[in-house]
Amino acid sequence: MSKKKKAINPEVEAVNAENAQETKEKKPLNVCGHRKIFYIVSIALIVISIVVAFCGRLNLAIQFKGGTEITYSYEGEIDTSKVESVVNDSIGQKATVTTGESMADSSKTVTLSFASEKGLTNSIQTKLTDALQSELKDNNLEVYGSNDVSPSNGKEFFIKCLVAVIFSVIIMIIYIGFRFRKIGGISAGCMAVVALIHDMLMVFGCFVICGFDIDANFMAVLLTILGYSINATIIIYDRIRENKRIYGRKADVDELVNMSVTQTIGRSIHTNVTTIMAMAIVCIVCVVAGVSSIMSFAFPLIIGMLAGVYSSNCIAPTLWVCWQEHRAKKLMAQAAASKKKK
């Protein structure tokens, strides 16, 4: 038995020395010491987003609100920004303009989507068509099709996405609770979920403040952020577990978190920077080309990924520290109460 211990000890000592050296080289970030600032900033941004949404800046897309879609065939090259301007000037409504190609006869098409509960009457559609044909004579616009969209399909899609998110959250809590049971796994899982909710609210705020429509892109960004954010949080939890195994009771929980965040923050940033740069290039192309449909995915994704890095390093682990400190105080109070009874 003693020989086995001697064979294991050098490896353990090497790991301890490596981590100790890494900690000495990097001055630990005082993340836990500034947690109140992080909470205030996050709460302020969330409140601003909610206030802006209640002030009428929440734009539900046609899939969720219902409305009318009018499709025109056209020739040559069409200026979508001019189409939007003509729509606004002629009937005083905002339309989402998308171009495409008909699968039936390969003709070029432009689709105008109007999100409204009542839809557009025939007289308004006729007025709009006349205005477009008058302003865009070179494109030879002709009505290709018109239909009313029911909001029930969008609601069904939203409910399915919501069920998927809830199911994934439950699985994450169970997984984190089992994998990190030595550091209070269930509490760690719950704090990771709080961080995910924080990231979703940041994405929601981006859509509301920027005036993007709440559509399928919104759900796609949320589901993408779930994967990136939880991965970064799990990496930090894994390092906290390893540091706790190495240092034991020599380090408090806030010291463990500061140390672990310092050791992993570089990796967390590097993991996200490639995707953020790619999306930034997409945003630049969208601005130059005047394409708004892709912009409503690329820019909120950048905000969501930045929020994910922030919450994984500053929200989830510090909330876990708060819970551990609260739990320790509660146990001490119970112990003191039991001593008094004796």
pLDDT tens-place string over residues 99-116 = 877 777 777 888 888 877
List where CATH 3.30.70.3220 sits in the chain. 67-149
Given a contact cutoff of 8 angstroms between Cβ atoms, the answer to whether 185 and 176 are in contact is yes
At residue 299 the predicted structure's pLDDT band, cuts being 50, 70 and 90, is very high
State yes or no: pLDDT of 248 exceeds 70.
Answer: yes
Cβ neighbours of residue 193 under 8 Å, at least 6 residues apart? Answer: 169, 172, 173
State yes or no: pLDDT of 20 exceeds 60.
Answer: no
The Cα 32–Cα 317 span in angstroms is 8
Secondary structure class of 147 (helix, strand, coil): strand
Cβ neighbours of residue 60 under 8 Å, at least 6 residues apart? Answer: 115, 213, 214
| Average of per-residue pLDDT across 180-207 | 88
> What does the pLDDT read at residue 43?
94
At residue 25 the predicted structure's pLDDT band, cuts being 50, 70 and 90, is low
Share of the chain above pLDDT 90, in %: 17
Average pLDDT, the chain: 82
- Tokens linked to 203: 């994405």
Cβ neighbours of residue 150 under 8 Å, at least 6 residues apart? Answer: 66
At residue 311 the predicted structure's pLDDT band, cuts being 50, 70 and 90, is very high
List where CATH 1.20.1640.10 sits in the chain. 25-58+153-332
At residue 72 the predicted structure's pLDDT band, cuts being 50, 70 and 90, is confident
State yes or no: pLDDT of 201 exceeds 70.
Answer: yes
State yes or no: pLDDT of 26 exceeds 70.
Answer: no
CATH superfamily of 25-58+153-332: Multidrug efflux transporter AcrB transmembrane domain (1.20.1640.10)
Q: Which of 124, 60, 150 is nearest to 96 (CA)?
A: 60
157 — alpha (psi -120 to 50), left (phi > 0) or beta? alpha
Q: Please provide the CATH number assigned to the domain covering 67-149.
A: 3.30.70.3220
